[in-house]
């Protein structure tokens, strides 16, 4: 893993390199996904079944699993895992419960009434990968805030295994999280089915959840037909550390992100050159015992870097510029720096708050903005699953008091029909 000294130039070359990770839209994949979307839109369930056979190797033993059936999967997983997902669910619920908003109404003395109504979306679809990329934690992170928001129905899609059955860990998580129905299909065809609806799969208002490049492309292409959570890029971690940090911890945390993907980025900003060298040695030591060694090595070689900064202010300035998905502050008195962090998906404070704590258990959502989008995007939350409507009530007198200003604004914009809508109420001529 390369060590670089910050000089106002080299560290910003890193940002440019990271921007290239996402690259241009793959036209070939877009063409394939567009064809699948069209096929599902026109062919419905038959098309979904055909693509499932083609891409997944067979048809699932059951196409849909109702809510009542989900509980049986809790008996198929070991007790320790069951206890873990229930504890995680409770923490996620407690955190997201604090995000809820209330509808409101104000009544003025002049009789004017205004307000805002907040309610959950009618139906949401959650995409959950299967196979080697099966993440029960993502089920919890997507379904729990939707449940709190008041979503009336939560639909989950997940590809079946080679034996035609779903992953029992995923299904157990769905049971714990309150998913209403599960359809056993995956890929771009599942996303298209959720967006347009089929004979069996209902149309949803929003699609959330991670997936491969085909799933991500489908979500992107269907945005507007249906809402989506975000277009996620490769995972990333940025650690800011001073001399108080422990090299063994830093090495472990950098590799915990690198194992996701060969394109994942793991960056350490430190004020200590000796800490930087010690961290590299720890990586070399620990990586020998990790299963995804090859992925970690390539990720660290291509998109990993340790930058030695002059001071913490310089490091934090760079962190805000990079706007990372995950930011760890492994420094003395980390709470001092919260107010200085403007751009980050999730912030982990101190040596005993590693990134996996947020991924699995603590409560904050692990669906986070990537690729610098933390400059303007926020983590998945209860807000992601609600919609708002405003309402207005004016009396005749108050509309009369405001009419001249409204007419002036409308006519200034050349919208005479707008002006007329006001004038006719007071028998005024154009």
Domain locations along the chain: 27-102+118-228, 234-376, 394-426
Candidates 96, 260, 326, 366; catalytic one: 326
Name the helix (H) or strand (E) containing 311: none
Domain 27-102+118-228 coded CATH 3.40.50.720: no
Are 27-102+118-228 and 234-376 equal in CATH topology? yes
Q: Is 187 left (phi over 0), alpha (psi -120 to 50) or beta?
A: left
Per-residue model confidence (pLDDT) at position 26:
78
Per-residue model confidence (pLDDT) at position 77:
95
pLDDT tens across 373-414, in order? 999 999 999 999 999 999 999 999 999 999 999 999 999 999
Q: How far is CA 355 from the centre of its chain?
A: 16
Per-residue model confidence (pLDDT) at position 70:
94
Structure tokens at 74: 């809790």
Which residues of the chain are modeled with pLDDT < 70?
Answer: 21-25, 131-133, 429-430
* Residues whose CB falls within 8 Å of the CB of residue 130, separated by 6 or more in sequence, listed in order: 158, 159, 160, 161, 166, 167, 170, 186
Per-residue model confidence (pLDDT) at position 239:
98
Return the SS3 of 23.
coil
Asked whether 112 and 398 are in contact (CB, 8 A), the reply is: yes
Listed residue (13, 1, 3, 2) closest to 318, CA to CA: 13
Per-residue model confidence (pLDDT) at position 25:
61
Per-residue model confidence (pLDDT) at position 212:
86
Per-residue model confidence (pLDDT) at position 52:
86
Prediction pTM value: 0.92
Listed residue (170, 152, 153, 173) closest to 161, CA to CA: 170
Listed residue (257, 405, 430) closest to 345, CA to CA: 257
The DSSP bridge partners found for residue 118 are 388
Asked whether 229 and 381 are in contact (CB, 8 A), the reply is: no
Per-residue model confidence (pLDDT) at position 330:
97
Asked whether 158 and 130 are in contact (CB, 8 A), the reply is: yes
Rounded Cα gap, residues 341 and 317, in angstroms:
8
Per-residue model confidence (pLDDT) at position 48:
94
Per-residue model confidence (pLDDT) at position 23:
56
Answer yes or no: 325 catalytic. Answer: yes
Instruction: Order the strands of the 386-393 sheet from edge to edge.
Output: 104-107, 113-120, 386-393
Per-residue model confidence (pLDDT) at position 133:
67
Backbone angles phi, psi at 420, to 5 degrees: -65, -35
As to burial, measured by CB atoms within 10 angstroms (0-12 exposed, 13-18 middle, 19+ buried), residue 47 is buried
Domain spanning 234-376: which superfamily?
Nitrogenase molybdenum iron protein domain (3.40.50.1980)
Per-residue model confidence (pLDDT) at position 313:
93
Name the helix (H) or strand (E) containing 42: helix 27-56
Candidates 325, 328, 355, 366; catalytic one: 325
Return the SS3 of 414.
coil
Asked whether 130 and 163 are in contact (CB, 8 A), the reply is: no
């Amino acid at each position: 893993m390369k060590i670089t000294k910050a000089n106002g130039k080299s560290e910003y070359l890193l940002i440019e390199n990271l921007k290239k990770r996402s690259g241009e839209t793959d036209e070939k994949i877009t063409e394939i996904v567009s064809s699948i979307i069209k096929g599902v839109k026109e062919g419905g369930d038959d098309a979904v079944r055909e693509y499932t056979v083609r891409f997944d190797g067979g048809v699932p033993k059951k196409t849909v699993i109702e809510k009542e059936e989900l509980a049986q999967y809790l008996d198929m997983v070991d007790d320790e895992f069951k206890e873990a997902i229930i504890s995680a669910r409770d923490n996620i619920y407690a955190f997201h419960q604090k995000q809820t908003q209330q509808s409101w109404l104000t009544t003025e003395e002049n009789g004017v009434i205004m307000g805002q109504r907040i309610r959950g979306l009618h139906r949401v679809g959650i995409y959950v990968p299967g196979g080697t990329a099966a993440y029960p934690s993502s089920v919890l992170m997507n379904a729990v805030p939707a449940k709190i928001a008041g979503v009336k129905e939560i639909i989950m899609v997940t590809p079946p295994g080679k034996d035609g059955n779903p992953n029992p860990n995923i299904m157990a998580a769905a049971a714990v999280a309150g998913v209403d129905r599960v359809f056993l299909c995956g890929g771009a065809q599942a996303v298209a089915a959720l967006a347009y609806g089929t004979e069996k799969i209902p149309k949803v208002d929003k699609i959330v959840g991670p997936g491969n490049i085909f799933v991500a492309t489908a979500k992107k292409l269907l945005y507007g037909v249906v809402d989506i959570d975000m277009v996620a890029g490769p995972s990333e971690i940025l650690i800011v550390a001073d001399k108080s940090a422990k090299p063994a911890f830093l090495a472990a945390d950098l590799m915990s992100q690198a194992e996701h993907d060969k394109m994942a980025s793991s960056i350490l900003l430190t004020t200590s050159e000796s800490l930087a060298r010690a961290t590299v040695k720890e990586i070399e030591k620990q990586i020998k015992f990790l299963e995804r060694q090859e992925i970690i090595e390539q990720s660290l070689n291509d998109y990993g870097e340790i930058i030695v900064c002059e001071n913490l202010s310089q490091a934090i300035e760079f962190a805000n510029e990079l706007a990372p998905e995950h930011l760890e502050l492994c420094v003395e008195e980390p709470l001092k720096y919260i107010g200085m962090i403007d751009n980050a998906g999730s912030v982990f404070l101190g040596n005993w708050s590693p990134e996996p704590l947020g991924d699995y258990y603590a409560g904050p959502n692990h669906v986070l903005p990537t690729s610098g989008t933390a400059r303007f995007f926020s983590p998945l939350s209860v807000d992601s699953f609600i919609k708002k409507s405003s309402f207005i009530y004016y009396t005749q007198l108050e509309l009369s008091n405001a009419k001249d200003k409204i007419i002036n604004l409308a006519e200034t914009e050349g919208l005479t029909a707008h002006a007329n809508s006001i004038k006719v109420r007071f028998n005024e001529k154009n």
